[in-house]
Amino acid sequence: MYLYNLFDKIGLVSKKVLNAFLNVPRECFVPRKYVKYAYIDEPLPIGKDATISAISMSLLMCEYALLEEGNIVLEIGTGSGYQAALIAELVYAKDKAGNLIRKGMKRVYSTEIEKSVYEFGVKNLDITGYLNFIEVKLYDGTLGWPDDIKFDAIIVTAAGEIIPPPLIEQLKVGGRLIMPLGKGFWQQLIRLTKTGSGEDDYKIEYLEEVRFVQLKGKYGAK
């Protein structure tokens, strides 16, 4: 009923990303007063100038990151927790009943800089069971993850004027970073792929025009 614009964009994502969308109850990741709008393909406010992205954008971020089962992924900007839950659906193995299987270390890591938003996201991930598979920290994500982990993909859910150098450093060779870049009303969604171990060994693709809230932190918007 509420999937107004989403049907026009379903063909842009793979079956596995679509299945992730079908498995994650978006209504559990929006403020209670917005539950009836949970499946409208538009951003919704969650407090502190933060939003839960439009459904199609959340799915496209996963698609552009080329996520595969077994990947280790960092998300900058936990927000409601919805994007992290989608990522978990894509990188964890599943049993015959479709339940996520965790063996050893977690595969999804997420940072949030605003305390009240962090608490909202953690609560949502806990209620839906995803917190067992996602490590969340109240932290300046533009500094990267505080522990020594290399990532197959990094997804930044807010727009910055530069690509934070610590994020490039924490990518594995072959890793992808998806991020809105720019300071205006509209930004460019980019995909950076790390091609070698040197400081400048990467390539950048410009994907599409987007609109995101501004990235906060040391390497965030000025």
Residues 126-131: contacts with CB within 8 Å, 24+ apart? 127/28, 128/24, 128/25, 128/28, 128/29, 128/81, 128/85, 130/81, 130/84, 130/85, 130/88
**53 is annotated as an active-site residue:** yes
Whether the CB-CB separation of 156 and 179 falls below 8 Å is answered with: yes
Host H or E run for residue 100? strand 100-101
Q: Tell me the C-alpha distance between 119 and 72, whole Å.
A: 23
Distance CA 123, CA 146 (A): 22
Task: Please give the Cα distance from 8 to 175 (Å, whole number).
Answer: 29
Quote the tokens at residue 145: 């993850």
> What sign for the dihedral angle of Cα 162, 167, 168, 174?
negative
Among 14, 53, 58, 80, the active-site one is 53
CB 41 within 8 A of CB 55: yes
Give catalytic residues, as residue numbers.
53
